[in-house]
Amino acid sequence: MEKEKNEKNKKLPKKEEINEWYPEVLRKAEIMDYGPVSGCMIIKPYGYAIWEHIQKYFDERIKKLGVKNAYFPLLIPESLFSKESEHVEGFAPEVAWVTHGGGTKLGERLAIRPTSETIMYEAYSRWIRSWRDLPLKINQWVNIVRWEFKHPTPFLRSREFLWQEGHTAFATKKEAVEEVFQILEEYRRVYEELLAVPVIKGLKSEKEKFAGAVFTSSVEAWLPINRFSQAATSHHLGQNFSKPFEIYFYDKNEEKQYVWQNSWGLSTRSIGITLMIHGDDYGLVIPPRIAPIKIVIIPIYNAKNKEDVLKYAQEIREMINKLVRDDEVVLDDSNDTPGAKYYYWELRGVPIRIEIGQRELKDKSVVIFRRDKREKENVSIKELSKRIQELFEDIHKYLYDKALKELREVIIPVESLDELKKVIEEKKAGIAYWCGSVEEEENIKYVTSGAKSVNNPLEGELERLGIKKPKEKKCFICGKKTDKIFIFSKCI
Ligand SMILES: [Zn+2]
């Protein structure tokens, strides 16, 4: 028994052992579990509740932009999937195919959607006829399968994941391009305002853009595994799909025009990014706005005062119920020791813990423990509601600022490939003026053993985030004059 207790109270060193820390904490905190097929995991209720917060937030935002939800089939006939050549080339290595129905070989292989451009655009070509049908803005919340061969990491790199994919069609290029950045801004809001994760908005390089896109924009987050992670993407597809898929309309002059299209996606990777960034040696630290359980109340009593303390705890609970949803507050009156309860709820990253004992009962107060800083304070019940609301805001801000400080410190201006190599070896990221050449990017990858361009931050982004800019406006490899700044690092 004693041994088990010691084991239970063991700290999990995050920084030193992040590769073990991450999956272990996620599993112990019951965010996820492994499924029987490698790279396909189970998202448990405590993890799924985080996804529901993200869905709700983003869904409301895009509906304000006129986007409507729908559902398209999981299986895509090979002939349809192959219609746009760059797209099929880019995705072919990762597609899982259905070849049999029962014991019968199918006449045509069916792709399990790795993304839904092709199946949606076949329908769009039938639905769009006139300028009155535009813009068409459809989103779906679904699972997709990409048969990765790299080592799977829960949420960050898996074969099956959940996401939303928005697919929009416009009469003009101008409207389409505007929407790309409107959605990118919505993704920034999800990360920064909901998940307390600072992200860099920017454009992907020619080599790293989406297969079939004219250009790809992204938000990128820095992870404690010393890698950037593509946190969400918004692509402008131009007429690359509307032409092979025959998606055209007759404009007001009765002239035939092909539509201009975008696609954009945010996945459950966002959960992995958030949990990996904010966690510490004691387990998860979940930002209040997405925490499935926001407050836990721990009564501390003995045989003599048990009844009074529990009654007081119940009163506090009722008070809190006015602030958060009923299922977001737990009164833990189980028979475990207070220490075991602290450990259990800290591991699960609950933002606020309220402790109630004899002294608090007497003073009409409570002890509040905030998970982010692991600090305690005494608060009178008169002040409690106000203080909790302040703390929710403060915890969000503290987590965001802490992550932003790390992001700033890790991006180092470089002026040569040698300097970039050194920075990558030090497990940081480089920032440089770069011409964007595909050959140079291949060379960067070779010289640095795997680093890539992350993105070309949009105007004002580096200033907004307080990231240092490189000096000379010339490509750090070939020396050509350029205005474009790129960040480089290893990525997941
Ligand atoms: Zn160059």
Distance 221 CA to ligand 1 centre (A): 25
The percent of residues above 90 in pLDDT, for the chain, comes to 93
pLDDT at 188 over 60: yes
* Stretch (H or E) spanning 339: helix 338-347
Please answer whether residues 492 and 223 qualify as being in contact, where contact means their C-beta atoms are separated by less than 8 angstroms: yes
Q: Give the whole-angstrom CA distance, residue 353 versus residue 347.
A: 12
For residues 86 and 210, give the distance between their C-alpha atoms in angstroms, rounded to a whole number. 9
Q: What is the mean pLDDT of residues 322-330?
A: 94
List the chain domain ranges: 18-278, 293-394, 411-489
Model pLDDT for residues 401-426, shown as the tens digit of each residue: 999 999 999 999 999 999 999 999 99
Q: How far, in Å, from the CA of 30 to the mean position of ligand 1?
A: 47
Rounded distance, CA 356 to CA 365, Å? 8
Q: Which distant-in-sequence residues (6+ apart) come within 8 Å of 249 by Cβ?
A: 128, 129, 130, 131, 133, 134, 171, 256, 257, 259
Q: Are strands 329-331 and 295-299 parallel, antiparallel or unpaired?
A: parallel
Alpha carbon distance 327, 317 (integer Å): 11
Judge: domain 18-278, CATH 3.40.50.10490.
Answer: no
What was the pLDDT predicted at 8?
54
pLDDT one-digit tens code per residue, 3-22: 344 445 568 899 889 999 99
Q: What is the CA radius of gyration of the chain?
A: 25
Inter-residue contact 50 to 162 (CB < 8 Å): no
Residues around the ion ligand 1 (C-beta < 5 A): 435, 475, 477-478
d(CA 435, CA 441): 10
Alpha carbon distance 59, 72 (integer Å): 17
pLDDT tens for residues 247-286? 999 999 999 999 999 999 999 999 999 999 999 999 999 9
Identify the helix (H) or strand (E) that includes residue 345. Answer: helix 338-347
Query: If residue 230 lies in a helix (H) or strand (E), which one and from where to where?
Result: strand 227-238
CATH 3.30.70.270 holds for 293-394: no
Q: How far apart are CA 361 and CA 365, in angstroms?
A: 7
Residue type for position 174: K
State in Å: Cα 481 to ligand 1 middle.
9
pLDDT of residue 481: 96
pLDDT at 150 (0 to 100): 85
CATH code assigned to 411-489: 3.30.110.30
CB 115 within 8 A of CB 164: no
Alpha helices in 65-171 (DSSP H): 78-81, 85-91, 117-127
Q: What is the pLDDT of residue 9?
A: 57
Residue 198 alpha carbon to ligand 1 centre in Å: 29
Distance 417 CA to ligand 1 centre (A): 11
Please report which confidence band the pLDDT of residue 148 belongs to, taking 50, 70 and 90 as the band edges: confident
